[in-house]
Amino acid sequence: MLIIILASTCFLIGIDQIIKVWAVENLVGQGSKQFIKIGNKEIINLRYLENDGALFGSFSGMRWLLIISVIILISACIFFLIMNYKKMPKALILSLTLVISGGMGNLIDRVFRGGIVVDYIEIRLFNFAIFNFADCCVTIGAIMLAVYIVFFDKGKAKEESVLGSEKVEVSDE
């Protein structure tokens, strides 16, 4: 199972890096290029953007803080995954794999592109940030993880039911 997780992670990171190389070669200096349009309404465009921050441009210019925090987050996810993968549901494994893959994809950019991350997906349907495939992986993985924890994590419910069913004896001493 660990081999499948590692292969999936490498595959997703590879897709991310290939798309970013394509974006650098084809979108730099081009402005916004139409990608998906329905009728007269632009839905998604492709537009090159160099992002030196994190989520929605936060922590802009804090390269080393971002690198260290991403490394810590990825390391924690990997450690948790390796220590528990035999008893983990596939949905949880998938969500952690997505988070790790996306984090690594953007970490590679931060380290090898001088602290910037290449973004290229521009949502035109409504005013939204420009992002990339790695960001999609992290976001989808984090949402899956949250849904799993809130709705499907049976370990927490079992602990609470066991603790709640203990009888307390009161003596008259």
Kindly list the catalytic residues: 119, 135
Give the residue among 132, 159, 147 at the shortest CA–CA distance from 94. Answer: 147
Per-residue model confidence as pLDDT tens digits over 2-31: 788 889 999 999 999 999 999 999 999 998
Q: Within a domain: residue 167?
A: no
pLDDT tens-digit readout, 89-124: 888 889 989 998 998 998 899 889 888 899 999 998
Length of the chain: 173
Q: Across the chain, what does the average pLDDT equal?
A: 82
| Model pLDDT for residues 57-70, shown as the tens digit of each residue | 555 666 667 677 77
Domain that holds residue 60: 2-153
What is the domain count for the chain? Answer: 1
For residue 171, pLDDT beyond 50: no
Q: Is 100 contained in some domain?
A: yes
- Angle between helical axes of 90-112 and 2-27 (0-180°, round to 10): 40
Residue 108 inside a domain? The answer is yes
Residue 170 located in a structural domain: no
Asked if the structure places residue 41 within a domain, the reply is yes
Strands across the sheet containing 41-51: 33-38, 41-51, 117-123, 130-131
- What is the pTM assigned to this prediction? 0.78
